Amino acid sequence: MLLQIIINGILKGGLYALMALGMSLIWGVMDIINIAHGAFIMLGAYCSYWFFSLLGVDPFISLFLSIFILFVIGYGIQRYLINLVIRATIFITLILAFGIEIFINNLALVMWTADVRKIQVPYGASNFSIGNFVTIPYVRLGAFLIALIIACVFYFILNKTRLGRSIRATSQDLDAARLVGVDVAKTYALTFGLGVGAAGAAGTLWAILFPINPMMGGILTLKSFVVVIIGGLGTMFGPIVGGLTLGVAEALGSNWFGTTYENFISFTILVLVLIFLPRGILGKSE
């Protein structure tokens, strides 16, 4: 039973890691805490839901469409809206992000109502067993592997491409990046687009595993924030470590205390990390 609980926590932790990956990238590069992040996850979930419901497109295929659509939305929002206040105080950027979240949530309510929906794939109940102790659903395993693949793609982009060098240069020294010819506005827009695209992917996977509704974004923003804090800023592996840590902790805590305490466990871990590891598990020192 304990091994099954830990495996379930690890699989859910992979999804948490993908949720937090985009927030961590935007926060680390642009110094913006994107509190509209959960709203973008919700949009990604609904993109794949409607592709599946109206056109019959499997969510593991429409995942790529969700990433593209959310990337375009994120790029446009940053380039033509957030970029206007990018050098303002953190309070101004938080207010703007909050306004974007309210707009997206209410637009989703008007368009899709508050009904709870879920992608019901025909293979949703399929699973396989390891011995007589562990049962692993194919859908959860697929979501976990896709989350890790996307994390690896992000790592490759940031460390092996010219765009990645521009993003890292902008993050480390904005003025020096400008001096060597980096288009900072475009780099910021691409960074925000990538972060929102990752949120779209997380939304698709969430819609496969859990019910969705237009107001689901708030708690997902908080979960992503917790994962980023636990893992630490400044490294692409931080969200992975944070996500797996939170997933396993929630699985164990929910088993011992009940599922109603899941959020309590999350924020208890957040407080403990802030007290004892203020930079997170893998966060870099100044």
CA gap 24, 233 in Å, rounded: 6
**Mean pLDDT value of segment 203-217:** 95
Query: Does pLDDT of 69 surpass 90?
Result: yes
Res 284: pLDDT: 59
Query: Does pLDDT of 286 surpass 70?
Result: no
Res 125: pLDDT: 83
CA dihedral 25, 199, 19, 182 (to 10 degrees): -10
How would you write 252-278 as a 3-class SS string?
Answer: HHHHHHCHHHHHHHHHHHHHHHHHHCC
**Mean pLDDT value of segment 101-114:** 95
- Percent of the chain at pLDDT exceeding 70: 98
SS3 212: strand
Write down the domain spans for the chain. 2-228
Tokens 């380039």 found at: 79
**Mean pLDDT value of segment 118-125:** 89
Res 103: pLDDT: 96
pLDDT digits (tens, 9 = 90+) for 83-102: 888 877 888 889 999 999 99
Residues 42 and 103 sit within 8 Å (Cβ to Cβ): no
Query: Does pLDDT of 223 surpass 60?
Result: yes
C-alpha distance from residue 281 to each of 86, 140, 184, 222, 239 (Å): 29, 26, 30, 18, 10
What is the reported pTM? 0.94
Query: Does pLDDT of 132 surpass 80?
Result: no
